[in-house]
Chain A
Amino acid sequence: MNPQSTLPPTPAALPQTGARKGAGRRGKGRRSEVGLFAGLGHIALAVWAVIVIVPILWTFLASFKNTTEIFSSPWTLPGELRWENYARAWTKANVGRYFLNSVIVVGLGTFGTMLFGSMAAYVLARYKFWGNRVIYYLFVSGLAFPVFLALVPLFFVVKNLGLLNTHTGLVLVYIAYSLPFTIFFLAAFFKTLPSSVAEAGMIDGCSHTRLFFQVMLPMAKPGLISLTIFNVIGQWAQYQLPLVLLSNAKDKWVLTQGIADISVNAGYEADWSGLFAALTIAILPMIIVYAIFQRQIQSGLTSGAVK
């Protein structure tokens, strides 16, 4: 795309038939066409909004009900606010534990990804040295490979390092698999930063390392924020890596894994209201975070597509 070009040439596809038809329909007919279109559009938008909101709202309501209410009146408000459902989910179903584990793993994983990703991206973007391109393409090629291809050998690599069923193992794997996109994105970002500031720093006797941490990283802040959001959401949502790498350590499970397990293994005697409460515990923080950082999250997540 080339937004700078000044003269917008009329695309060959511009409507000629539309022009002829439209000419006779100026005025009244045209306005009703606008009204009808906007009206139908509004209905469609409202319907989709309902489809998105209702399942979530319904879960919140059900998290306060008891099992009888869930079965007899799924569409009504709960008879009373049963906070004990949350207490049960948090402690008995271990959702509190899982939540904390997710925070630890994603916190360390994203921190490590951003630190090592930005270091590698910076060096690859701004220093000329033998092997630079090889390493860069090695990282970027990782974008083309599906994780499932590596699943079996990865399991044994982690196992042989003695890191199976540990958070350390999962964090290292998260970092390694987040590097390709992080480096791809940040290298492009570091390339756009002006070199005059860096040169001034060098003349003042700034070391390469200080230059990176005190000059270049602050300058790259917008890119770093987008990528941090991207990685936090991506790692928070991970399901299959923890499933494979933490399978035998239930006390180390992350939130997605724990809640999926409660749901999959729920039999007839299941604690439905507890499960609804657990789901709410998983969803509500995301709504709050999203409400606060809505703009940054949208641009952070779509940054992958608009290079």
Chain B
Amino acid sequence: MRHGKYPFVIGFLFVPVTLYVVFVIAPYAQAFQISMTNWRGLSAPQWVGFENYRRLLDDGNFWKAIQHHAVLLLALPLITIAIALFFAFLLNVGGRSVGGQRQGVWGSKFYRVVFFFPQVLAVAIIAVLFQMVYRPNESGLINGVLMKLGLDPVLFLIKPNLALWSILAVLVWQAVGFYVVLFSAGMASIPTEIYEAAEMDGATRVTLFFRVTLPLLWDTLQVAWVYLGIAAFDAFAIVAVLSVDGGGPDGATTVLAMEIYRNAFVYSKYGYASAMGVALFFLTITFAALTLRLSKRESVEY
């Protein structure tokens, strides 16, 4: 291009690149380094090689966290996508055809607006909200009703085998609306002629869904799965605020982010916490790569 290009380019890139290198790149690079030390913040860090990683293997909480990620990784995308697909289908092509055009069911717009709303709220706020909803006595939204009906209260967050599912339910509650909107956008780009042709052949709604909508939506589904999987590897805010004593009862809901936070900022085990961070990083990357690889399939051109 013309004269004076380089001063301009450098001028425009200087601040963003500096900020990014100082606050993002440098910490990421240091994380790998710190994970090989026994640094606790006071004295100079000592190099311990892979000792922290070896200790991870014997850490009960680490394995609990991994198990919880495995549960979330399967259940969160599966449940969310199933519900969202069902609703998106109803809202877009579930109604009767008007002049050959498939319509959504009555009230589609209202439902879409309402369903999406939780996405706008902060997870930490939602966690506080559901702490009220799940409260174990008559002041809880659910148990208030159950106890009025003379039933025993359900200890959503206190029973170890129920707590993780209670948290999962909140994640689904928040996520469904987002994916309804995402899938709706995908469905809207499917040409109506395909539906018409299928319908002319007498396809029922169920066949329409499984044989037309689903295959043509494959790319969007893949994106949704990756997004929800990454969300399943995070879950810090919800676990930190909603669960009993941050990941409890007795580690029944803990996740890696929670363990990293606790080890670093409560116990000051910076080296060990960083090793967990590195483990989390490799798990996330592996998941994303595997999903993209395994779900690869001929996309249908239309």
- Flag whether B75 is at the interface (Cβ < 8 A): no
- Flag whether A208 is at the interface (Cβ < 8 A): yes
In the complex, the answer to whether A25 meets B202 with C-beta atoms within 8 Å is yes
In the complex, the answer to whether A155 meets B181 with C-beta atoms within 8 Å is no
Segment 109-159 of B: residues with Cβ below 8 Å from A: 110-125, 127-133, 137-141, 144-145, 148
Chain B residues whose C-beta falls within 8 Å of the C-beta of A5 in the assembled complex: 301-302
Q: Which residue of B lies closest to A145 (CB)?
A: B28
- Flag whether A104 is at the interface (Cβ < 8 A): no
Q: Which residue of B lies closest to A74 (CB)?
A: B144
> What is the CA–CA distance of A116 and B224 in the complex, to the nearest angstrom?
29
> What is the CA–CA distance of A177 and B280 in the complex, to the nearest angstrom?
18
Chain A residues whose C-beta falls within 8 Å of the C-beta of B273 in the assembled complex: 151-152
For A301, give its contact among B113, B119, B144, B204 (CB under 8 Å).
Answer: B119
Contact with A along B179-190 (1 / 0, CB 8 A): 001100110010
> What is the CA–CA distance of A157 and B95 in the complex, to the nearest angstrom?
56
- Flag whether A297 is at the interface (Cβ < 8 A): yes
Query: Knowing A18-B202, A302-B178 touch, does A208 contact B4 (C-beta < 8 A)?
Result: yes
Chain A residues whose C-beta falls within 8 Å of the C-beta of B144 in the assembled complex: 74-75
Query: Knowing A120-B16, A149-B281, A152-B34 touch, does A301 contact B178 (C-beta < 8 A)?
Result: yes
CB A102 to nearest CB in B, in angstroms, measures: 9
In the complex, the answer to whether B173 meets A151 with C-beta atoms within 8 Å is no
Segment 147-164 of A: residues with Cβ below 8 Å from B: 148-155, 157-158
- Flag whether B81 is at the interface (Cβ < 8 A): no
| CB contacts between A and B, total, < 8 Å | 345
Chain A CB within 10 Å, residue with most, of B177, B281, B285: B281
- Flag whether B74 is at the interface (Cβ < 8 A): no
In the complex, the answer to whether B256 meets A148 with C-beta atoms within 8 Å is yes
For B120, give its contact among A41, A75, A259, A297 (CB under 8 Å).
Answer: A297
> What is the CA–CA distance of A33 and B199 in the complex, to the nearest angstrom?
14
In the complex, the answer to whether B120 meets A127 with C-beta atoms within 8 Å is no
Query: Knowing A14-B211, A150-B24 touch, does A155 contact B120 (C-beta < 8 A)?
Result: no
- Flag whether B292 is at the interface (Cβ < 8 A): no
- Flag whether B66 is at the interface (Cβ < 8 A): no
Query: Knowing A34-B205, A244-B265, A305-B227 touch, does A11 contact B194 (C-beta < 8 A)?
Result: yes
In the complex, the answer to whether B128 meets A260 with C-beta atoms within 8 Å is yes
In the complex, the answer to whether B120 meets A19 with C-beta atoms within 8 Å is no
Query: Knowing A45-B105, A116-B16 touch, does A55 contact B204 (C-beta < 8 A)?
Result: no
Chain A residues whose C-beta falls within 8 Å of the C-beta of B224 in the assembled complex: 305
CB A141 to nearest CB in B, in angstroms, measures: 9
Report the interface size for chain B: residues with CB under 8 A from the other chain: 124
In the complex, the answer to whether A148 meets B212 with C-beta atoms within 8 Å is no
> What is the CA–CA distance of A41 and B145 in the complex, to the nearest angstrom?
26
CB A177 to nearest CB in B, in angstroms, measures: 6
Chain A residues whose C-beta falls within 8 Å of the C-beta of B240 in the assembled complex: 239-240, 243, 260
Chain A CB within 10 Å, residue with most, of B106, B178, B202: B202
Chain A residues whose C-beta falls within 8 Å of the C-beta of B278 in the assembled complex: 149
Chain B residues whose C-beta falls within 8 Å of the C-beta of A149 in the assembled complex: 28, 31, 277-278, 280-281
Stretch at the interface among B7-15, B46-54, B55-63, B160-168: B7-15
In the complex, the answer to whether A236 meets B122 with C-beta atoms within 8 Å is yes
- Flag whether B284 is at the interface (Cβ < 8 A): yes
Chain B residues whose C-beta falls within 8 Å of the C-beta of A302 in the assembled complex: 178, 181-182, 185
Chain B residues whose C-beta falls within 8 Å of the C-beta of A19 in the assembled complex: 201-203
Q: Which residue of B lies closest to A55 (CB)?
A: B133
CB B209 to nearest CB in A, in angstroms, measures: 10
> What is the CA–CA distance of A119 and B11 in the complex, to the nearest angstrom?
9
> What is the CA–CA distance of A117 and B15 in the complex, to the nearest angstrom?
10
In the complex, the answer to whether B1 meets A13 with C-beta atoms within 8 Å is no
Contact with B along A28-60 (1 / 0, CB 8 A): 000001100110011011001101111110110
> What is the CA–CA distance of A9 and B300 in the complex, to the nearest angstrom?
9
CB A87 to nearest CB in B, in angstroms, measures: 20
- Flag whether A138 is at the interface (Cβ < 8 A): yes
In the complex, the answer to whether B274 meets A152 with C-beta atoms within 8 Å is yes
- Flag whether A184 is at the interface (Cβ < 8 A): no
> What is the CA–CA distance of A72 and B205 in the complex, to the nearest angstrom?
47
Chain B residues whose C-beta falls within 8 Å of the C-beta of A301 in the assembled complex: 119, 178
> What is the CA–CA distance of A302 and B11 in the complex, to the nearest angstrom?
32
Report which B residues bind A (CB closer than 8 A). 1-2, 4-6, 8-9, 11-13, 15-17, 19-20, 22-28, 30-31, 34, 83, 86-87, 90-91, 94-96, 105-107, 110-125, 127-133, 137-141, 144-145, 148, 173, 176-178, 181-182, 185-186, 189, 191, 193-194, 197-198, 201-205, 207-208, 211-212, 215-216, 219-220, 223-224, 227, 230, 233-234, 236-237, 240-241, 256-257, 260-261, 264-265, 270, 273-274, 277-278, 280-281, 284-285, 288, 299-302
What 5 A-B pairs have minimum CB-CB distances, sorted nearest first? A22-B202, A237-B122, A176-B23, A18-B207, A74-B144
Given A45-B87, A52-B114, A129-B6, 8 other A-B residues pairs in contact with their CB atoms under 8 A = A45-B107, A150-B24, A155-B265, A157-B22, A260-B124, A260-B128, A282-B125, A305-B227
Q: List 23 A-B pairs, Cβ < 8 Å.
A: A13-B211, A16-B201, A20-B202, A33-B204, A33-B205, A45-B87, A45-B105, A48-B87, A49-B111, A55-B130, A58-B133, A74-B141, A123-B12, A146-B257, A148-B280, A209-B11, A244-B265, A247-B265, A256-B122, A256-B125, A298-B112, A302-B178, A306-B220
